[in-house]
Structure 1
Amino acid sequence: MTSDGSADTPPSTSKTFRTAFRDLGRGWSQSELWLQLGWQDIKQRYRRSVLGPLWITIATGVMALALGLLYSMLFQISVREFLPHVTVGFIVWGFIAGCIKDGSNVFIENEGLIKQLPSALSVHVYRLVWRQLLFLAHNMVIWVLLVLIFRIPLTWNTLLAIPALALLVINGVWVTMLFGVIATRFRDVAPLLESLVQLLFYVTPIVWTTQTLLEQGGEVAQRARIAELNPLYHYLEIVRGPLIGLEVPAYHWGIVGACTIAGLLAAVLVMRQWRFRVPYWV
């Protein structure tokens, strides 16, 4: 039986774009299943906890506050300016890192369901992205507090965060599918990605800003422009900018759009080639 429940589909016809897109569509149509499973994941994680999912917000808030205060003193930047930058960046990074790290194990951790439940393979992808989106929603409470405390202006520009978050979710789907399939076949990929994500945290402008480096001029300013080569920087900017009252240059959107298209194509190609083998690899 294949992962989309079509037991009579021979392997030779599984390597088509049609079956890859059919898997994505069938998984989306089973939204009641993955929505419920994703919510159960969070309830199970905080079972018998007094505060429950609020621990997500507390842990993120404490970490963002500590890093924001520390680096604002080190860089001599106003807390009013720097803390929202760090906090929103940290919130968005949590979603990105979760999709990459948890996504690499998405099929391995759902071995039992994949082998026993006749559902589309993409159900497990949507479930994980939905779970990460719930984490993100919990953490957005911190942003609301920042708006109230620092009086961050809410304008029409703030609404750009909505399509930015939509792009983030779409990218979460292809990232999870792509790395999930590859890491299921090659088990060394998951720990490699975990180390890579930790490294990327420090080279992405989360606890530092490119503007600070540019103001120093010279070679330091040139190094700041190297950050432009990091795609995650652009993903952060299109979400963080509107939420902290900053204008986002159009080229950030262009780069994110190009990366999204390239990533979706890569994920579909991987699904076309190997999706029917995942039940045998897990």
Structure 2
Amino acid sequence: MSLLTKINSNTAHSRYYQALMDIIKGFKLWRLALSLGWFDIKLRYKGSALGPLWITSTSAAMTATMGVIYSSLFKMDIHEYLPFVALSTVLWGQGIALTLSDACQCFLQANDTIHSIKLPFFLQALRTVFRNIIILSLNLIIPIIVFILFKVHVGWNALFVLPGFILWFINGLAVCLLLGCICARYRDIPQIINSFIQIIFYVTPIIWLPQQLKHHIAYLVYNPLYPLIEVVRGPLLNNGFNGTIWIYALVYSMLIWLASGYIFIRARGRLAFWI
């Protein structure tokens, strides 16, 4: 083995080790990440009377409007449609879409912190995910109220939502590492991601029910965001545990993890220079 090959091999192993240690050290600082996430929310709504509840009130107004209008357009029973759209819009808007959007700014927004204090880069991913968890938790009040008003019974199947949220948490961290690194290097990517979010919203069953596709419903699993949202939404709508949905969700998740790991390992050493 030549000297150059040995150097390249040692460099590769060093990258893997440093990236792994970055993630481990980041997890150890989870309390700091949680505090920073909460501070971000307080700073964003500083001087506001309602604070983050402005998002909740806006989501509630949008849900009520969409529920009435679209139930008429689709000729759906509002007692079936409104709980579905209330839960779907919150999980999409304050869950998936917000995570994708914030992941692009994961490292860019922490520019001053990264340059002034030596902290694990993974801490910023935890910070972003914790911030979005808090916002999502506040907005889950909307579907809860709708479920109570329309007397939607949530049985023991709702327990399957726990592994779904754990999968969301892990995927959120992976997406932050993946998009955070890419967007730190290429500043046009956030605009592409925002356009993608708007497009994928209409081809994912958020404001329309999956069964409306009738004979074409089987093709929905090829939309990666459908199984990923269904592992959380399904149990809350008494759809039980769907093995097929979970298989696709895990496959798409593993692809995200592999991509984020590869990008983070290669980009970590240059992140501070890019931002």
The equivalent of 1:153 in structure 2 is 153
Partners of 1:16 and 1:169 in 2: how far apart? 25
Q: Secondary structure at the match of 1:197?
A: helix
For residues 130-156 of structure 1, the C-alpha deviation after alignment (integer angstroms, 9 at most, x for no partner) is: 011011100111122122111111211
What residue is the counterpart of 2:85 in the other structure? 86
Report which structure shows greater RCO (CA 8 Å, sep ≥6): 1
Aligned equivalent of 1:252: 245
Matched, 1:171 2:176: no
User: 1:229 maps to which residue?
Assistant: 222
- Is 1:275 matched up with 2:268? yes
- Name the SS for the 1:107 alignment partner: coil
**Which deviations, in whole Å up to 9, do the C-alpha atoms of 1:155-208 show, x marking residues without a partner?**
110111111111111111101110110111111111101100111111110001
Q: Partner amino acid for 1:167?
A: L
State the match for 1:7 in structure 2. none
Q: Tell me which amino acid in the other structure corresponds to 1:135.
A: I
How far apart in 1 are the matches of 2:193 and 2:75?
A: 33
How far 1:81 sits from its partner (Å)? 0.5
How many angstroms apart in 2 are the aligned matches of 1:18 and 1:256? 28
Larger CA deviation: 12-21 vs 114-123: 12-21
Q: Find the counterpart in structure 2 of residue 65 from structure 1.
A: 64
CA contact (8 A) 1:15 1:273 kept: no
Q: Which letter does structure 1 place at the counterpart of 2:134?
A: L
Please report how far the alpha carbon of residue 103 of structure 1 lies from its aligned counterpart in structure 2 after TM superposition. 0.6
Structure 2 length-normalised TM: 0.92
Distance 2:63 2:99 in 1: 20
Please give the alpha-carbon distance, in whole angstroms, between the structure 2 residues aligned to 1:228 and 1:257. 12
Residue 15 of structure 1: how far off its partner (Å): 5.2
Instruction: Figure out how many residues of one structure are paired with residues of the other and give that number.
Output: 265
| Secondary structure, counterpart of 2:140 in structure 1 | helix
Moved more, 61-70 or 115-124: 61-70
Displacement of 1:125 in angstroms is: 0.6
Instruction: Give the corresponding residue for 1:192.
Output: 192
TM-score, structure 1 length as denominator? Answer: 0.90
What residue identity is the alignment partner of 2:24?
Answer: G
- Alignment match, 2:4: none
CA displacement 1:33-90 (0-9 Å, x = unmatched): 2111100111112212112222121111111221222111111001110111111111
Question: Quick one: structure 1 residues 15 and 98, their matched pair in 2 at CA, closer, same or farther if it must change by over 3 Å?
Answer: farther
- How is 1:17-36 mapped onto 2 (pairs within 5 angstroms)? 17-36=16-35
Distance in 1 between the 2:83 and 2:266 partners? Answer: 43
1:262 to 251, 255, 258: 255
Give the 3-state SS of the residue equivalent to 1:109 in structure 2. coil
Q: What is the alpha-carbon root mean square deviation over aligned residues?
A: 1.6
Q: CA deviation at 1:268?
A: 1.1
Distance change >3 Å, CA 227–CA 239, structure 1 → 2? same
Distance 1:27 1:59, change over 3 A: same
Q: Does 1:202 align with 2:195?
A: no
| Cα shift at 1:13 | 6.5
- Give the partner amino acid of 1:26: K
Q: Is the 8 A contact 1:15 1:274 kept in 2?
A: no
Residue 253 of structure 2 aligns to a residue in which SS? helix
Alpha-carbon distance between aligned partners in 2 of 1:25 and 1:38, rounded to the nearest angstrom: 19
Gaps of 5+ in 1: 1-10, 215-220
